[in-house]
Structures are given as structure tokens and as C-alpha cells.
Amino acid sequence: MNENDIVKTDFLVIGSGIAGLQFAIEVSKIGKVVIVTKQKIFDSNTELAQGGIAAAIDETDSFESHIEDTYKASVGLGHKSVIEEIVSSAPNIIENMIQMGVKFNTKNGKKISISNLALAKEGGHSRKRIIYVEDFTGREIEQQMIEIVRKNPNIKIYENHMTVDLITQHHIKGNGQFLPGITCWGAYVLDIQNGKVKRFLANKTLLATGGCGQIYYYTTNSETATGDGIAMAYRAGARIANMEFIQFHPTTLYQPDSQRAFLISEAVRGEGAILRLPDHSEFMKEYHPMENLAPRDVVSQAIDFEMVKNGYKFVYLDLTHLNPEKMIARFPQIYKKCIENGFDFTKDMIPVVPAAHYTCGGILSNTDGETDIKNLYACGETACIGLHGANRLASNSLLEGAVTSNNAAKLPQNIEKIKFPNIPKWSEENIFDENEWVVISHNKSTLREMMWNYVGIIRSNRRLQYASERIRIFYREIEEFYQKNPVRRDLIEARNLATTAYLIIRSAIMRKESRGLHFNRNYPEKKKEFEKDTII
């Protein structure tokens, strides 16, 4: 093989959120690590996470209570054994983060220790168990991990690099030489700045690319969240599960001219904020006994129902009855953003709308991150391990990413050295057709609007059928363009978005009931025969 376009390493990590960084830190103790991230290393959904990490550490709390809350939120689809493992691992993960230097809020401002951590409450939780850093928990965790990663001589970071495809038997001629099953030897990776594609070869590859929020017109997600890992794994032959369950966060700041939604943390309602209609009346008591702290699927659907029924463009989140100094100190980032948009939440109610927030489905894997494909792991939001089921409980996401990536890093097979086959160079023939790209780029924007309007919070058979017909056209046009043109970031993302949209639509059509985050007007009730995962 020509070595000029090859990067060899023991571990290839694709993505730089909590799952990717946690894995990189741990496996760097036994080998060389390469992190590939398509923007800067801090660009991820982790960096945007406001709320915190759920952990039963208080003497009035218990693993059993946290497990029960998680299972209830999952609407019968959470796997009990998986929930038990993730929940029981939480205290160790928190202790590890304290050792890394994460400055969690404490009860009395004294030394940070697991017994002295401040705890908040969020929707669906029966106790205060959210460990947090004001309203920027994810950013604090990300910054501490990045500092550790950058100082580590065994870790090399490739920023502005984007994975095009996983390297498997599909790329190698004469693959009859291989044993049954699919093996991953790394990935083809685009250097975004110079347009060259290199072969990144690794004994073990981790997909930690996050979710697919950018598939929707309004989302809280980082612009990097284009379903890359899910799409690549599906194309390589991995099973994908539960993609119909896209979580819409109930409360994002209403900004009619912005597609990037600013999150108003669920912890705000945990502190006592109330959802109100424009006439100031409360409405959540009509939908759930937990009212404003009901699980996210219930609150998002309730807001959507009220908006559609009454023609409202938004509803309000009211903090004006709460202690102003305490709220500003607790939510400084949210307060600043509201002020920038003309709202002082100590005096004014905040206009809010739901927005796409979290992908509960993903690459089918276990709590150790193992997938169908040999030597390929998937952790964090890009994976589906059976923790969230039909709806994710608030603040279980950072926990899942940290636990599963930590488990994956400890697997005994990580010390294996594999023999690489003769992997072909990436073909870079043809010239990018800018005129044709205008049509494809327009399709990308249209795709996001279609997903918002037809595969959003409220669905129907007619809407899903229309979306299914449209996505086949989108996908065919994008795939034909992809085959004829050199790759670049926006083309790879368009291809991945189309693939992921297809998986969401197909999964939604397969589930002929309403459960959790999937509500279909034609099947408004839960059905016993659909108390199972949707697997493609």
C-alpha cells in the first residue's frame, strides 16, 4: 500500500463529545489513539448540554427509584438489565469526573465531593438527582476532558476532518477471502481543508458522532449532528434500532428567524417554572399528574396540541414568581440569552416552542458499545443500547455516553493487533459540478422542512406516506450526485441526512401505534404487540 495517504493507529475515535473523549482517555493507557472530528474538538452536543447528569447519590434516593423513573419514561421499551447497569454505574462516573477536575455545584460552596454535590430535579424524576454545573454542565465536562486529551502524548487530534465511510469488506475486491460477518478496519476520512481523502486504519474504531437533530428544521443540536455514524454503520451492514423515537425538547426560546433553537433547560421547570398559554392559564394539569415536570414526550405533545388547536406560535414559560437572584445565579447562560432577545425572565414570561433534541434510537449495540460489525464500537447518542426505549429520561444521556464508552475501553479484545488487508485508495476522479449541487443543496433544505412538517411531534399515515415517497427521490438524487463527484463536507452530510431520514420514516411506518415520542393520529393508543424494539 502507498503509505502517503494512510494514518495507522490502535484506536480510531470518530467524534469528540463525552463518549469519544472518555473512550480516548481510557484506551490511551494501552495504545495510540486518533480522534477525528469534523469541526473543532469542542463542537458537539455535549458542549451544549445544560442540565446535568442523573445519579442516585442522595441518602433519600436509591438505584431502584432511578431505575423505575427511567423505565416509566421509556414507556415499556427500556431494557431493565441495561437500565440497572447504567444507573448503578452513575456514582463511579461522577467520582471519575470529579477526579478529572469537573467543578460541579455543591450544596454549601465547600470542597467538591460526591457527598456534597448540589442536586436538581427535572421532568420524569421522582427525586432531586441531577448533578450540574449551573446551566452549562456539558461545556464544563467537555473542557476538562479536552484539557486532558490535549496533554496526552498517546492521543492525536484531527480537527476539520470528516469520515466519509467505514472501511469494510464492501470496499475490497475479492472479499471471498474473509470469514463470514463484517469487519471494520477503520475509515476513509476527508481533510475538509484540502479536499483529500485518506485511509485511517485502526485495530478498533469507535463511532461517537452524536445524533441527527439537523435533519429537522428547528433543533437544539450542534450543526455537526447530521446522523453521520448511524448512516455509515447502516451502509456498512449494522442493524439500526428505534429511529422513530426522536425526542423534541419541550422548551426552546421562540426565535422565529432562527433555525438553531436555544434550549431552556428542563431544570428551569425543576426549580418551579410553569408553562402557560397566552391568556396566562396553566394547561399541563390537563395532560399528566406530574404537570410541568411530566416526561418530555408528554410535555412536547401537549404544547404541540395547544399550539395547533388554538393557532398559537408559542406558549410561555413563567419564572416571574420565583426568587430572581436565585434564578439568575442558577441559570446565568439562559438569563443572558433571554436578555439579548428582549426578555428579562425575572419580570417577563419566556416564549417557548419544542425543537428536535435527541435521537433515542441508533446503531444497535450493547452496554459495552459492541455492534454487529467486528472491531466497531458505537457509544453515546449514535447508539441504541436499550436504555431510553420510547422516550429518554432527562439527564440520562451524558450518563449513558460516559458509562458505555468507559465499558468499551475496558474490553479485553482491545489489546488485539489485527492484520489489515490491501485497502484501496479513495478514488478522486471527476470535477465537482457546482451547478448540479445547487439542486442537491436545495433538496437538503427541503428535506429538513419535510421532516419537520410530516415526521415531527404529531404524525399520521398520510404524512408518513408522503415523506416516504419524497425521501426515495431525495436519496436517489443525492446518491447519483455522490457517485459522480468528488466528496466534500456538505455532500457527505446531505447523503447521511437522507439515509437517516429514510431510517426514521421507515421505522415510524412500521410502528402502528402511539408510544412515547412516536404519536400517530391513525393509531392513538399503545398496542401490546408493539412492546418491542423496531429493528432495521
d(C-alpha 151, C-alpha 522), whole Å: 55
**342 C-beta neighbours (distance < 10 Å), count:** 7
Query: CA-CA distance, 421 to 479, in Å (whole number)?
Result: 27
Q: Is 312 exposed, middle or buried (0-12, 13-18, 19+ CB in 10 A)?
A: middle
Calculated CA dihedral for residues 75, 79, 80, 86, nearest 10 degrees: -110
DSSP-assigned states of every residue in 222-259: -TT-S-HHHHHHHHHT--EE-TT-EEEEEEEE--TT-S
For the four alpha carbons of 148, 157, 13 and 388, in that order, the dihedral sign comes to positive
Catalytic residue selected from 296, 330, 448, 470 = 296
Q: Are 243 and 536 in contact (CB under 8 A)?
A: yes
536 neighbors 506 (Cβ within 8 angstroms): yes
Q: Tell me which amino acid residue 133 is.
A: V
Identity of the amino acid at 236: A
Residue 296 annotated as catalytic: yes
- One-letter amino acid for residue 49 of the chain: A
Residues 445, 478: contact at Cβ < 8 Å?
no
- CA 336, 338, 340: angle at the middle one, nearest 5? 70
φ, ψ for residue 222 (rounded to 5)?
-60, 150
Give the SS3 label for residue 129: coil
Position 404: which residue type?
T
E-assigned strands of 360-428? Answer: 362-364, 376-378, 383-384
Q: What are the φ and ψ backbone dihedral angles of 120, each rounded to 5 degrees?
A: -115, 170
Handedness of CA 368, 374, 375, 380 (dihedral sign): negative
19: cell is 463518549
Region of residue 242 (left: phi > 0; alpha: psi -120 to 50; beta: else): left
Cell of 63: 438505584
- Active-site residue numbers? 296
